[in-house]
Amino acid sequence: MIFTLLIVTGLLVILNISIGSSHISVHEILNVLFTGAGDGHNKMIIMDIRLPMALMAVVVGASLGVGGCEIQTILRNPIASPYTLGISAAASFGAAMGLILNANLFHVSDTLVVTANSFAFALLVAFAIYIFSRQRQIGKTAIILFGVALNFLFSSLTMILQYIANEDELQSLIFWNFGSLLKTTWSKFYIVLAVLIICFVILFKNAWKLTAMTLDDTKARSIGVDTAKVRRTVIFITSLLSAIAVCFVGTIGFIGLIAPHIARQLVGEDQRFFMPLSALTGAFVMSLAFVVSKLIIRGVILPIGLVTSVIGIPFFITIIFSKMRSM
Amino acid sequence: MITVDNLSFSYKKNKASHQVFDDLNLSFAKGFNVILGPNGAGKSTLIKSIFGLLDYKGNISYNKVSITSMNIEDKIKLMSYLPQMDMEISTLTVLEMVILGRLPELRHKVSEEDLNIVMDTLASLNITSLATRNFSELSGGQKKLVFIAQTLVRKPKLILLDEPVNSLDLQKQLELCQLLQKIVNKQNVDIIVILHDINLAARYAQHIVVLDENGSIYNSGKPCEVITSKMLEEVYGVIANLIYDDKDIPIIAPVSSVHNV
């Protein structure tokens, strides 16, 4: 299963490099990738533009897939995702501060203002949830409610900024919120990849403990899991994963929700398989959405966040209905 | 074995507080121990305190070594605990669920030793056929047996079981008690079990502790010393006849409640 998904995702990466304003044949792509030589501008287009974007789709999808998988596990809530905790809303507010108020909070270069602001606010929420979850007697429901409250708070703050924004600023913010891979660079890709690898290794080393987190808290504690500590650690790691992904590509909805659901249907909740498959499914769905985003309107690349939402919302409704039927 | 010294514990919610134990002192014996008592006497609270799930005042020790300040890793090596719980939904298979009981020893790839222990435990509970079934598909009694298997696979020195026979049929209740007795005798393991069935306690326990509704020790000792008509009336509020079988084990035949309903 994992092997098949790897191959299909690899094929989608090739397809993503091939499709664009100018079509590049698979033969030419393989030629550039393996020999470093290509016709005309093909080498530049592939190596500097399309390959980093195609790979960014893979690592962002994997990050959101792993994040969703672990958030659903520790909160024992199948409709939770990194967005449930308000991270996306906070990142969006950070971006809005940069785009509308021109607030350069960290005195970075102009091109990095939006990224830095959105990352800072996403991380701020991650820390807020981490500190909140450190309080004694804080259960999973309280954490979800706290996340939902932060979500509303930052959404409202963003709306206030939208209200005072001029037309250009408003358009920029709306476009940022759509989610897009178009501003990907190799350095951004490497940062997301490095964070993904570090977080994945930490989580994977604790796979059995995370599997035990699918049980009731008392049951998990009875077999030696410090549930509060695991929950805090996972919240921090998944928040970091989501914050990094969101700050570079904007809001990408529903990958964190869909990927773990598909993976769970395929391999159950043994985290030794569930987590890697969630990552791979996230990468696959994101790559597929990127292909679809280029095919809907010829010559135009739709923001990928729109495509993932269009795929995700019917799926989300299906989950709710199937849950209602099983109740 | 377990000794409890000056145990005090209160459940606190908002500003309200409910004191369960006030300076409780007791000792368990080696072997098969049973805690008896009416609802709300603090039986589960006592077992949770021993396992270290509650912040209590006082000291609890095992073979004169304090376990009150022991870290979770050492506690897990020493004892395993089956909480009292309702049915649970999980997408794990029975095998995965039971393997989790070996958590401190588990490596990424399940070792042959771990797998053998798990399969032997499933066989001892007659549930090998359930191994590949999804946990959520099982009946309440089967789920209980799976959790008992999960508790037993760690091979601890002390096993704490909170109402393990609930939702088991009569045959399974007897088989479980016989298995626990066998574990005590052959593996030199001590067991503390909470039971509501006084007949089962009388038949299998080596030592019984009776808590009254105030969370105090009413009596403790051998079954034939502890299980009396007087205890049943004063602790449980039940008028009952006691019959003794050929091994002098008391069998309780309840007649009525002391309250007119």
d(CA A300, CA A21): 8
At A234-262, the pLDDT tens digits run 888 888 888 888 888 888 878 888 899 88
Read off the pLDDT of each residue in A143-154 and give the average, rounded to a whole number: 89
pLDDT band at A207 (very low <50, low <70, confident <90, very high): very high
Domain boundaries, chain B: 2-257
Residue A231 confidence (pLDDT): 87
Backbone angles phi, psi at A107, to 5 degrees: 50, 50
Contact criterion met (CB < 8 Å) for B103 and A216 = no
| Interval A300-308 mean pLDDT | 87
Looking at CATH, the fold of the domain delimited by A63-287 is given as ABC transporter involved in vitamin B12 uptake, BtuC (1.10.3470)
Q: What is the mean pLDDT of residues A313-320?
A: 71
**Mean pLDDT across chain B:** 91
Smallest CA–CA distance from A216 into chain B, residue: B88
Q: A-side interface with B, Cβ within 8 Å?
A: 207-209, 211-212, 214-216, 218-219, 221-226, 264, 268-270, 272
Please give the order of strands across the beta sheet that includes B57-62: B16-27, B2-13, B57-62, B65-66
| Percent of chain A topping pLDDT 90 | 33
Q: Are B117 and B151 in contact (CB under 8 A)?
A: no
pLDDT > 70 in chain A, percent:
96
Mention the CATH class of domain B2-257. Answer: alpha beta
Render B160-194 in DSSP notation, one character per residue: EEESTTTT--HHHHHHHHHHHHHHHHHH--EEEEE
Give B-chain residues touching A270 at CB under 8 angstroms. Answer: 92, 96
Contact B103 A223 (CB under 8 A): yes
pLDDT tens by residue, B213-261: 999 999 999 999 999 999 999 999 999 999 998 888 999 999 998 887 7
Strands B32-36, B190-194: pairing kind:
parallel
Least confident of A21-25, A275-279, B232-236: A21-25
Residues 6+ apart with CB under 8 A from A268: A274, B91, B92, B93, B96
Q: Is the pLDDT of residue B88 over 80?
A: no
- Chain B hits for A211, CB-CB cut-off 8 Å, are 92, 96, 100
| pLDDT range class, residue B15, cuts 50, 70, 90 | confident
Q: What is the pLDDT, as a whole number, of residue A271?
A: 95
Kindly list the domain boundaries of chain A, sorted by start residue.
63-287
Identify the closest residue of chain A to B14 by CA–CA distance.
A137
Burial A3-24 (b: 16+ CB within 10 A, else e): eebeeebeebbbbbbbbbeeeb
Helix, strand, coil in percent for chain B, rounding step 5: 35, 30, 35
Model pLDDT for residues B210-219, shown as the tens digit of each residue: 999 999 999 9
Locate the chain A residue with the closest alpha carbon to B73.
A224
